[in-house]
Amino acid sequence: MRTIEPTDITLDYKSIAEARDMPGLRLILGAYAVPGPWREACKGLFYVKGVPYTPVVTASEPGGDLSMGMQDADRDLRDWTAQSSAPVAIWNDERPRSTWVDQINLAERIEPQPPLVPGDIDQRVDMFGAINEIAGEHGLGWSKRLMIIDGGLKALEPGAEGRAFFEHLGAKYGYNDVEVAAAPAHMAGIIRSLDQRLAAQKARGSQFMIGDRLSALDIYWSTFLTLFEPMSQERCPMSTAFLDFYCNPYVETQEAISDALLAHRDFIYENYLELPIVF
């Protein structure tokens, strides 16, 4: 197990304008110093493989007013990547990869070792399906994001400072009452499935979510668990302005998060991923 020490190191971000003509791997990571799970999973893929990258900030200003200019903030991002979300991985002059599945495949191609995608076809299909339940549309992270949006909209009256940010996200990610109402049970079902998977793996002598070695599934579960149970500030320093978003007030969902799942997250971070997390 590695010794973990707090650090004041931060990423040396480049602007999109600066990064577009740079060679190598560029990761567009967004604008805010928070452990966004899609962002940290993408970083984790390349961290495990030892692939250096240039971190890129979107046009949104870190620390700025979240309610101002959301529609226009990321024009440069849309111009380069034809969409408006981070993270995005760009390798040399190839097309941008803005989906988690494309980012996994890109990481495997750039640096095949250590492999994060199983060679066995049944395990491979199983892994990508499980990650889709975590990171895909209407999956675990998607549902939690809708709950965050719901909390913001209900806490802020129309016209209140900050409400425009949640309205923007709601329009972007299809906020609706039906999906929000179903989200706690939906998230709990996904988490219980992962817990059962981990228990079955432990019974056969494996410490990993699939097979007998680290895979992308271990990375995605470990990074997405932060949405419900963040690590300590020493390991995962984050602005207190975001702490309320990274918690889990939903009883049904909380009960599904077992000690084994938490221990697995800690095992993966302590042995494979970046600690402390650097923003």
Whether 242 maps to a domain, the answer reads: yes
Question: Which CATH number characterizes residue 188's domain?
Answer: 1.20.1050.10
Whether 279 maps to a domain, the answer reads: no
- Tokens for 236, please give them: 């995962």
Residue identified by tokens 């190839």 is: 94
Which amino acid belongs to residue 190?
A: I
pLDDT higher than 80, residue 60: no
Provide mean pLDDT across the span 150-170: 92
Q: Tell me what pLDDT residue 2 has.
A: 40
74 or 86: whose pLDDT is higher?
86
Whether 2 maps to a domain, the answer reads: no
CA dist 260 and 24 (Å) reads 38
Evaluate whether 90 touches 106 at the Cβ level (below 8 Å): no
Evaluate whether 61 touches 92 at the Cβ level (below 8 Å): no
Evaluate whether 37 touches 81 at the Cβ level (below 8 Å): no
Residue-number span of the structural domain to which 217 is assigned: 14-271
CA dist 160 and 164 (Å) reads 8
Whether 6 maps to a domain, the answer reads: no
Evaluate whether 100 touches 108 at the Cβ level (below 8 Å): no
pLDDT higher than 60, residue 68: no
Number of domains observed in the structure of the chain: 1
Whether 9 maps to a domain, the answer reads: no
pLDDT higher than 50, residue 6: no
CA dist 35 and 246 (Å) reads 9
Whether 96 maps to a domain, the answer reads: yes
Please classify residue 134 by burial: count the beta carbons closer than 10 Å to its beta carbon, then call 0-12 exposed, 13-18 middle and 19+ buried: buried
Q: Tell me what pLDDT residue 184 has.
A: 96
pLDDT higher than 60, residue 18: yes
Mind listing the pLDDT tens digit for each residue in 114-142? 999 999 999 999 999 999 999 999 999 99
Q: What is the DSSP letter of 184?
A: H
| 25-30 and 54-57 beta bridge pairing | parallel
Evaluate whether 147 touches 160 at the Cβ level (below 8 Å): no
Whether 278 maps to a domain, the answer reads: no
Nearest to 264 by CA among 194, 203, 212, 204: 194
Whether 68 maps to a domain, the answer reads: yes
90 bridge partner residues: 26
Please classify residue 207 by burial: count the beta carbons closer than 10 Å to its beta carbon, then call 0-12 exposed, 13-18 middle and 19+ buried: middle
Secondary structure, 3-state, 164-203:
HHHHHHHHHHCCCHHHHHHHHHHHHHHHHHHHHHHHHHHH
Q: Tell me what pLDDT residue 70 has.
A: 52
Contacts of 200 (CB under 8 A, 6+ apart): none
pLDDT higher than 80, residue 69: no
- Tokens for 45, please give them: 């893929």
